[in-house]
Structure 1
Amino acid sequence: MLEKIKSGDIMEMKENINIEFKREFTTELKKEVVAFANTNEGTIYIGIDDFGNVIGIENADEILNQVVLSIRNSIKPDITMYCNSKIEKIENKDVIVIKVQRGTLRPYYIADKGLKPSGVYVRQGSSSVPASEENIRQMIKETDGDSYERLRSLNQNLTFDYAEKIFKGNNLSFGLSQKQTLGLIGEDNLYTNLALLLSEQCNHTLKVAVFEGIEKNIFKDRKEFKGSLLKQVTEAFEFINLLNKTEASFEGLIRKDERDYPVEAIREALLNAVIHREYSFSGSTLINIYEDRIEFVSLGGIISGLSLDSIMLGVSQSRNEKLANIFYRLHLIEAYGTGIRKIFTNYERYNMKPTIKAEVGAFQVVLPNIHYKKIEEKLLVDNSFNKNIEKNTTEIKPLYTDILNFVTDKNGATRKEIEEYINFSQTRVITLLKEMLELNLIRKEKDKIDRRSYKYYKK
């Protein structure tokens, strides 16, 4: 706390990391206050120029009031409890002295600029400079902890049109108090990252890629889903389900339709990928669809302390507890720790099972296509049929040539003459002649002498 300051003391001081001189009060003052609050404590003198000359200010009481109002209304979170402003006499002139302590809710920022470099300042030497985005994230993490969903969102201009529609559809309110209770708004009345995830401004996306065959070589289709996570989940599920083909079988007279993938298994794998991923990573949630499987890949891996075995036993430790709670309230999930087991339960009556892979930084659930072996068998039958056709065609081609040579030499021949020449049955020759007509190798005309019979000529 500063009391009376001697003229000599001021002359010996220079602007540095903890001291800032201002000739007069301007709106730039809030930038200096923010910088000191975000870095280390500092003192601002209004009425002293950059060279340390005491200029003084007129109407000091009025200016002091403007200073207090500016700090209170222009800076978020509230920094007033860490600021002390008063009028001091230096060289018999009025100088306003503002003592700013390092705040506990960093990063502080200029309200109309937001949590971005243009609104967040730090002290470097004798200057106040914009903080980098990485510096801003680090301050948020130091203040709010490691939980991504609890951290303050860098974007405070959020809209919730889709979320409001979903809450309304479930007869749930989605007003200010509900946002605070659910964790979308923190104690500082700022939006959290949880709010960002549910907003139209969500910067995380979900990508679905459809491949031809069972390798990642040829794309058949791809789609990226954006916006609120609630919207992404809904639209991605609809898209995947459109590709989930139905195969019909019969038990007696009863027709039985069955999808390539159990619908509930798709649903649970999709929700698991979205709810439990690590959102501090910037990559997209990935879904790859092949002819024999669907892969759901989410970022983050298994939470420390858990294993694949414990997950299979139903042990639940959500990385995003508040996000999971919202999905639970919206009846999108039934209970924590049941999703993976439900996926496997849906495959119990089949001779193939889902697989789970966990790597550092990634988690993958793979659903097998329950009809893929039948598809392979059908392809084998089709290939066998085609090979037989090719084989038969190869055998028949020399006969075509023999017949063509014969009808050419004779300048036309009847069916009976062709039968006698190649020594084949009537039925076989009729078939051969029909094939050659369809292939446009020969033409058929009435015999000019015997109008009741036909002759075949090379075309």
Structure 2
Amino acid sequence: MQKDPLLSGESKNIEYKVQVPEHSEKYIKTVVAFANGDGGQIVFGVEDETLKIVGIDPDLVFGVMDSIANAVSDHCEPKIIPDLSIRNIDGKCLIVLNVFPGTMRPYYLRSKGILRGTYIRIGSTTRPAEPYMVKDLILEGENRYFDKEICRELIVNEEDINQLCAQMKEVALRNTWNEHEKAQIRPLTRNHLLSWGILKEEGDQIVATNAFGLLTGRLPEQPVIQCAVFKGNTRAYFIDRREFAGSIQEQIEAAYQYVLLKINVGMKVNGIYREDVYELPTQSIRELIANAVVHRSYNDPGKIQIALYDDRLEVTSPGMLLNGISIQKMKEGYTKLRNPAIAEACAYMKIIEKWGSGIPRLFQECKEYGLPEPELIDFEGDFRVNMYRNNPLLMGREQYIDPTQVNGNPTQASGNPTQASGNSTQASGNSTQDSGNPTQANGKRQLNAGETAVLNILRDNPSLSQKRIAERLNWKVDRVKYYLNTLKRKKAVERVGSSQKGFWKINERAEEGEKD
């Protein structure tokens, strides 16, 4: 016999009371929490631990319902209209109090006031809302957004505005590989920033919002991203940790490059070349970090944390899921913007793609990689995504670079997150090695990580200068020169024309030419 959903156990949306408490505040707190969240039900007449049905005296049930309705109406602010019904299960009478998601948040106990009387639901418990949660509820209830609020501490002029517009376009170009799409990236103007809510008009003045501060790194108490590598599968032992500051777009790129530096890299054959393959889908890594920045609560003083364990990559973003958002909806591509101005800016800069597409694509890419299904967790006021490592389809350990070892010594990341101190990375066994001579493996030309990165850019735009290549990779020009020289020695590329007006020719059939 199928179990009645009403008796499925306490959860985020169900609570049980064996009887109606004498002090109504004991259950009114939960009414408030349900109204501040996705709604819920309080079932009177059921023991919470055993789910034993005790029931309510049928002769008293209507009087009890009246007292519940009066208590809810009298103690809640704004007023909550309860929906009460009677259920008969196993011959016993239960009272079900249905609370719907409120539209005038925050709801609170009138006797305690908004700061002390606001409650939220976390898991199967009702808890007082933290001050930053109350701020989030106020903004949501008034259909306002943190990133669009005016930042009084920031004074902006036309030069500041033009500089941000130019920087955002530069990021957009750097994140676009197709020349046709590059040509369609429009220059930004003050009017674009006004329409997105990054700037606002106040009388005859242009003022900055919190979004402007976040995008320039000038917000008072500008948030940062914390990254760390741990030994094993818990946070007991650090191997390495970093904290990235600056504008949010700089933080996203720095954190992304840090993860790439720390995860394993393998090889696959592409034509006559062997190219690097990361153990995790790189586009999904970037998307997870970007989503954490775009969707986090900026009222929450916590920091985005990116933790790499032996078995998983863990990305934690401060702030509960918005009301109306569930994990199942996220898997289906549904999204609700907490910071729409930041989302518009990141979409323009090609940091995120279509809104809501990141989570479905994450699941699809992990499936294509042969990885376990990612895990989405809503807990304790934060949201976390786990992407699991140890790819069974790609991970031949003898083919993988150990990112924690360089020439036998632990790698220490330099100030530039795309570089490691010491010499070029060497793989254990017969894997990649930077040398002046072409390396052959099973008759195929072998390229290392740096060479592959440069070659991929040249495939899309062979006329790029060394300086522009360096800008795209966030490298120094000397590093680009080094890898171009090794590619030339391996006869993978050659320069056609002058240094100013020429281009790089990719020799895909270099090996066949050598045999001739």
**TM-score computed with the length of structure 2 as normaliser:** 0.42
Per chain length, whose mean CA-contact separation is higher, i.e. which structure has more relative contact order (CA < 8 Å, sep 6+)?
2
Larger Cα Rg: Structure 1 or Structure 2?
1
